[in-house]
Amino acid sequence: MPPDQPTQRDLFEHRPAWAEDDRRQGTIATVVLPDGVDKPLDYLVPEALAAAVEPGRRVRVPLGRANRLRLAYCVAVRSGELPQTPLKEVSGVEDDKPLLSRRMLALTEWMAERWMARRGEVLEAVLPAGVRLRQKARVSRLLVAGQVDPARKLTPAQARVLAAATQPAKAEQLAHVANASRAVVTRLLKLGLLREAGTVAAAAGPARRAIAHDRPEELSPAQATALGAISAAMREGRHETILLFGVTGSGKTEVYLQAVEETISYGRQAIVLVPEISLTPQTCDRFRARFGTVAVLHSHLTPAERHGQWREIAAGRVNVVVGARSAIFAPAPRLGLIVIDEEHESSFKQATAPRYHARDVAEWISRAEGVPLVLGSATPALETFARCLSGEWRMCRLADRVGGSQLPAVITVDLRDRSARSRGAISPRLAAGVRWALDAGGQVMLLLNRRGFATHVQCQACGHSMRCPQCEIALTLHQPGNKGVCHGCGLVTRLPADCPECRSPGLVHRGTGTQRLEEQVRKAFPDAAVARMDTDTMRSRGSHEKTLDAFRDRQIDILVGTQMIAKGLDFPSVMLVGVVNADAALHLADFRAAERTCQLVTQVSGRSGRGPQGGRVVVQTSTPDHPAIRAAAVHDYEAFVRSELPIREALLYPPFGNVIRLVVRGADEDRVAAWAGTLAERLRAAAAQDGAAGLRVLGPAPAPIPRLREQFRHHLQVHGPDGPALRALVGRATAGLKTPDGIAWIVDVDPVEML
Ligand code: ADP
Ligand code: ZN
Ligand code: ZN
C-alpha cells in the first residue's frame, strides 16, 4: 500500500454499537484533504491546539502508515466521547484565522453533492490561490512603507528599504534596490514598518459619489417596477430571484446600479457577476464611476493581488464586488444583493472540476442570506425562463429601449439564393448596408464566429482535408506564414504545398475566418479604417480596452470580430451590424445549438442603432426559416422560447429533465471505448434496478470532438426527470470503481458543453 493511502484507522468514523464501556472525553476535528482521500477524516484535537482548531482553518494531520503530514481543511469540530479505536492527533494549525465562514463551509458541502464533486476540490475552488498561500510566501505581495515613529532606531539597511518603499514594490525588488537581504524586508514587515499596499481598484474617492452624472433623472415605468420588486425583497430581508428580461438598451444596468445604491445605503455589500471582465469593460466602468469602492476581480490579477482584494472585502471595506464566475465566492460579511448580468452565458458554468454553475451557487447563497438575486438578460437561458413561467422566480419585462430609441430593423439574406452570392463572404445586400452606414457617418460591426483565415484546407484533386495529427480536427489556415492551426489543441504546423495523400499541387483554402473577412472588407471598403477583434489579435493584456477605445474614438470604422464583439457593448454610432454566417453554430451536436444561435444573433443585433440615427442589422443565413433565426430577426426571443420549449419537453431535455454527461478519454481508443461501455452497463443496470420512469442512458459513443490532444474521447449521457435521483443513480453505479490505467473520466452534472 502506498504510504499516503488512508489506513483503516484514518477511515474509522463510527463508534461500534457494542462499545459501551467507559471512554475518554475529547475534542474531535473532522478534516477534508484537498486531494487524495475524499472521505472526511476524524482526528483528535490535543489540548494545546484546542483554541486554534476551528472549522474553516487548515490543519496539519498525519496520514497513512508513514504518518506523513498533510494540509487539510477542518470542516467540523465536536466534543464528546472518543471512539474505541484511538484517533490520530492533529499536529498543527496552518491559518491564524478561518479562511471560510460556516456558511461557506455549508456551501461547499452542498456544492460537492450538487455537482458530484470532491469536497476537497470544492474547498480549493472557492478559495483563490492567493488566499491559500502559506505564511512564508505572503511576502511576495506589493509592499509600501508604513508610518515610522521618528524616535525609532533603524539599521542602515532598514532605512534604505523604507526609503525605497515610498512606492508599492515587491519584496524582492525592495531588497534588490536597497541592496539589503530579504530578511530585512521580513523583519520590517514584522515590525509593521512595511505594510502591504492596498490593492483595491479606485479605493480613493468618497463613498458617496453615488450621484454620478450619468444617473438618469427618472426611471422608465418598467425600470421602476423592476427596482420596486428588488427593493421590496431587500427591505423585507427575504430571498427572491428576479429576472430582468429586457432587450438590449432597455436600462437593465441602470436598475442594477440603483439596486446596488440602495444596498449600500443599508450598509450592505453587493456582488455583481459578469460573463468576463475583459469583454464587459463598459459595465465595469459604470460601476466604478458610480460607486466609491469597487473591487474588480479579473483574471489578470496575480494571486497576491486577488488575496488583497479578498481581505478588503472580508474586512467590509469594499461595498461592491464586480467579477466573473468565481467572484460569487467573495467573502462579503454584510451581503445585501447579488446581480448576474447576461445570466444566459455559458461561462457561468465552470468547465473543470468542480463543474458548478454560478447561477445555482448564487441562488443558494442569496437564499441562505435572505437577500434578492437579480438576473438580467435579453435572452435568458431556457432553464431560467421556465422557472419564471412556473412562478418560482419573478420575471420583470423591460420590453422597450429607454429614451424611445427603436430596435434596429433586421434584414435576413438567404445565402441559398443565387443573387445573394458573391465572391467573398459579404453578400451584395450586406455590402450595401455597410456602404449606407459609412456614408451616413456611422460605424459597422461584422460578426463571424470563426477565427483564422480559412476554416479548412483541402486538396482539390482527392478531397483530402488537412487535420490535426493529435485531434483529427480540421486545421484552420492562419496568415501570415501559411500556418495550419488546430483550434482544439492549439498545435501550429506549416502547411505543405502539395497534398500529402495524392501529391497533387495546390491545396485550396475553404471557408472564411475573421482574418480573410478582414482582408475582404479592406478591399471592398478601401476608405474605411478596419480592425479585427478575436483571440488572435487580443492576446496581450489591455488589448481589448485599446481596440474598444479606438472604436469609441472613431479611429475605427469597421470592427470585424468573433463573439467577443457581441456582448455588452454600447456604441451609439454603430449603425450597421452584419452577421456573416448565422448558421455556424446551428448544427452542432448540442441540444442547445438553436438557443445559443438565437442568443448570439440577438445579442449582436442589439449593438446596432443605439444612437439617434438608428440602425440596421443584416443576417446572412442558409436557414432563414429556422425559428432561432426568425425570432432573432424580429427581436422576439420569446417566440423562440415558445417554439423551443415543446421540443425540449418532448425529449426530456433541460429545463424538463436533467442530464449528466460522462466523458472518458485516453490514448488507446479500444480501451476508452471499453471503459465507456463498462460505465454504460453499470448505469443501465442501476437504472433497471431503480425501475424509475424516464431514466435513460444514451451512448456510449465517440464524442462530437472524438479526439483532442492525442486523447480519444467517448461520452455517454444519463437523463432523468429528477436531479437528485439522477445523481444518486450515477453515484451508486460508479461507486468504488477502479479506473484502469491510462483512462481518465469525468462526470459533468447539468453540462452546458456537449462537444
Ligand atoms: P441595458 O443594460 O439593458 O443594455 P442600460 O442600463 O445600459 O441598458 O441603458 C442603456 C442606455 O440608456 C445607457 O446609456 C443608460 O445610461 C441609459 N439609460 C438607462 N436608464 C435610463 C433612463 N431611465 N433615462 C434615460 N436614460 C437611461
Ligand atoms: Zn490530394
Ligand atoms: Zn489538435
How is the beta sheet containing 41-44 ordered, strand by strand?
Answer: 41-44, 25-32, 68-81, 58-63, 92-93
Nearest CA to ligand 1 atom 8: 251
Nearest CA to ligand 1 atom 6: 251
Is the CB of residue 603 below 6 angstroms from any atom belonging to ligand 1?
Answer: no
Say if ligand 1 is within 6 A of residue 248 CB.
Answer: yes
Q: Ligand 2: distance of its center to the CA of 450 in Å?
A: 25
In short, whether 379's Cβ falls inside 6 Å of ligand 1 is no
In this predicted structure, what is the pLDDT of residue 618?
A: 95
Query: 609 alpha carbon to ligand 1 midpoint, in Å?
Result: 14
Mean pLDDT of 79-91: 90
Ligand 2 centroid from CA 476, angstroms? 17
Which range is least confidently modeled, 427-431, 485-489, 596-600?
485-489
User: Final residue of a domain: which of 403, 421, 442?
Assistant: 403
Residue 466 lies in a domain: no
Q: Which ligand is nearest to the CA of 485?
A: 3
Closest atom of ligand 1 relative to the 218 alpha carbon: 23
Report which of 243, 241, 268 is spatially closest to residue 364, judged by C-alpha positions: 241
Residue 569 has pLDDT above 70, yes or no: yes
Selected residue with higher pLDDT from 583 and 212: 583
Q: Who's near 648: CB < 8 A, 6+ residues apart?
A: 382, 591, 654, 655, 656
How many CB atoms lie under 10 A from the CB of residue 538?
19
Residue 385, helix vs strand vs coil: helix
Average pLDDT, the chain: 87
Say if ligand 1 is within 6 A of residue 610 CB.
Answer: no
Ligand number with the minimum distance to the CA of 492: 3
Q: Evaluate the CA torsion angle 6, 10, 14, 16 in order and state its sign.
A: positive
Residue 389: inside a domain: yes
The residue contributing the CA closest to ligand 1 atom 24 is: 216
Q: Is the CB of 283 under 6 A from ligand 1?
A: no
In this prediction, residue 202 carries a pLDDT of: 35
Q: Give the number of the atom of ligand 1 that is nearest the alpha carbon of residue 398.
A: 3
The mean pLDDT of 632-644, rounded to a whole number, is 94
E-only strand ranges, 274-359: 294-297, 320-323, 335-341
711 CA to centre of own chain: 25
Q: Is 246 in the pocket of ligand 1 (CB under 6 A)?
A: yes
| Higher local confidence (pLDDT), 198 or 528 | 528
Distance 544 CA to ligand 1 centre (A): 23
Question: What's the pLDDT score for residue 163?
Answer: 79
* Number of domains composing the chain: 5
Instruction: Point out the ligand 1 atom lying closest to the alpha carbon of residue 341.
Output: 2
Domain-located, residue 467: no
User: Which residues is 338 bridged to in the sheet?
Assistant: 271, 373
Same domain (yes/no): 246, 362: yes
Query: What is the per-residue pLDDT for 22?
Result: 55
Q: Do both 608 and 585 map to the same domain?
A: yes
Only one residue has cell 482584494, namely 309
The CATH number of whichever domain residue 563 belongs to comes to 3.40.50.300
Residue 474 forms part of a structural domain: no
Burial 174-185 (b: 16+ CB within 10 A, else e): bbeebebeeebb
| Residue showing cell 430571484 | 241
Q: Which is more confidently placed, 192 or 454?
A: 454
**Nearest bound ligand to CA 502?**
2
Nearest to 541 by CA among 202, 300, 301, 200: 300
If one counts every other C-beta atom within 10 angstroms of the C-beta of residue 596, the result is 19
* % of the chain surpassing 90 pLDDT: 55
Average pLDDT over residues 443-447: 96
In which band, very low, low, confident or very high, does the pLDDT at 194 lie, cut at 50, 70 and 90? confident
Question: Considering only CA atoms, which of 666, 679, 682, 628 is closest in space to residue 744?
Answer: 666
> Residues near 546 by Cβ (< 8 Å), separated by ≥ 6?
none
Q: Do residues 132 and 106 touch, judged by C-beta distance below 8 A?
A: no
| 623 within a domain of the structure (yes/no) | yes
> Cα–Cα distance between 48 and 59 in angstroms, integer?
14
Residue 252 Cβ < 6 Å to ligand 1: yes
Query: Strand, coil or helix: what is 753?
Result: coil
Q: Which listed ligand is nearest to 501 at the C-alpha?
A: 2
The answer to whether residues 644 and 591 touch, using CB atoms and an 8 Å cutoff, is no
CA pair distance 72, 354, nearest whole angstrom: 18
Q: Whose CA is nearest to atom 19 of ligand 1?
A: 251
Q: Give, in order, the Cα–Cα distances in Å from 245 to each of 151, 166, 287, 297, 605.
A: 63, 50, 21, 26, 16
Atom of ligand 1 nearest to the CA of 283: 7
What's the confidence (pLDDT) of residue 150?
61
Domain identity same for 35 and 83: yes
Categorize the per-residue pLDDT at 392 as very low, low, confident or very high, splitting at 50, 70 and 90: very high
Q: Do both 183 and 311 map to the same domain?
A: no
* Cβ–ligand 1 contact at 219 (below 6 Å): yes
Between CA 231 and CA 262 the distance in angstroms is: 8
Burial class (CB in 10 A: 0-12, 13-18, 19+), 425: buried
C-alpha cell at 294: 469597487
Domain with 397 in it: 221-403
Pairwise CA distance, residues 629 & 540, whole Å: 34
The residue that leads in pLDDT, 277 or 69, is 69
With CA atoms as reference, report the closest residue to 247 among 411, 402, 409, 412.
Answer: 402
Among 180, 196, 212, the domain boundary falls at: 196
Q: How confident is the model at residue 200 (pLDDT cuts 50, 70, 90)?
A: very low
Cα of 498 vs centre of ligand 3, distance in Å, is: 21
Share of the chain above pLDDT 70, in %: 92
DSSP state of 116: T
Which residue did the predictor score with more confidence, 86 or 228? Answer: 228
**Residue 606 Cβ < 6 Å to ligand 1:** no
Q: Do residues 671 and 578 share a domain?
A: no
pLDDT single digits (tens) 310-357: 889 999 999 999 999 999 999 999 999 999 999 999 999 999 999 999
Preceding omega of 700 cis (within 30 degrees of 0): yes
The CA distance from 379 to 596, in Å, is 9
Judged against a pLDDT cut of 60, whether residue 371 lies above it is answered with yes
CB of 251 closer than 6 A to ligand 1?
Answer: yes
Are the C-beta atoms of 219 and 258 separated by less than 8 Å? yes
Helix (H, G, I), strand (E, B) or coil at 338: strand
Q: Are 43 and 31 in contact (CB under 8 A)?
A: yes
Cell numbers for 348? 457561468
Measured from the alpha carbon of residue 463, the closest ligand is 2
On whether both 638 and 666 belong to a single domain, the answer is no
Is the minimum distance from the CB of 34 to ligand 1 under 6 angstroms? no
199-208 mean pLDDT: 34
Domain boundary among 594, 624, 648: 648
Residue with cell 499516503: 4
Q: Where residue 693 sits, what CATH number does that domain have? A: 3.30.70.600
**What ligand is nearest to the CA atom of residue 611?**
1
Q: How far is the CA of 336 from the centre of ligand 1 (A)?
A: 23
d(CA 287, ligand 1 centre) in Å: 13
Distance CA 67, CA 59 (A): 14
Locate the DSSP E strands across 159-282.
169-170, 194-196, 241-246, 269-273
pLDDT category of residue 397 using cuts at 50, 70 and 90: very high
From 344, 374, 402, 571, the mutation candidate for ligand 1 (largest count of ligand atoms within 8 A of CB) is: 402
Beta strand extents in 324-408 (DSSP E only): 335-341, 373-377, 394-398
> For residue 263, which amino acid is it?
T
Tell me, letter by letter, the H, E, C secondary structure of 324-351.
CHHHHHCCCCCEEEEEEECCCCHHHECC
**pLDDT for the residue 136:** 39
Q: Are residues 592 and 671 in the same domain?
A: no
Domain match, 610 and 629 both: yes
313 and 394 part of one domain:
yes
Same domain, 644 and 664: no
Same domain, 302 and 359: yes
Q: Does residue 212 have a pLDDT over 60?
A: no
Identify whether 132 is part of a domain: no
Same structural domain for residues 639 and 666? no
Q: Which amino acid is at 552?
A: R
Q: What is the distance in A from the centroid of ligand 3 to the CA of 709? A: 5
d(Cα 521, Cα 424) in Å, to the nearest integer?
9
Q: Which of 103, 36, 582 is CA-nearest to residue 368? A: 103
Query: From the CA of 232, how far away is ligand 1's center (Å)?
Result: 22
Q: Is residue 203 part of a domain?
A: no
The confidence band for 668, taking pLDDT boundaries of 50, 70 and 90, is very high
pLDDT higher than threshold 80 for residue 633 = yes
User: What's at 218, amino acid-wise?
Assistant: E
Considering the entire predicted model, what is its pTM? 0.83
pLDDT tens digit sequence for 698-717: 989 888 888 888 899 999 99
Task: Tell me the per-residue pLDDT of 522-565, one tens digit each, with 9 for 90 and over.
Answer: 999 999 999 999 888 887 777 888 898 899 999 999 999 988 88
Residue 222, pLDDT score: 96
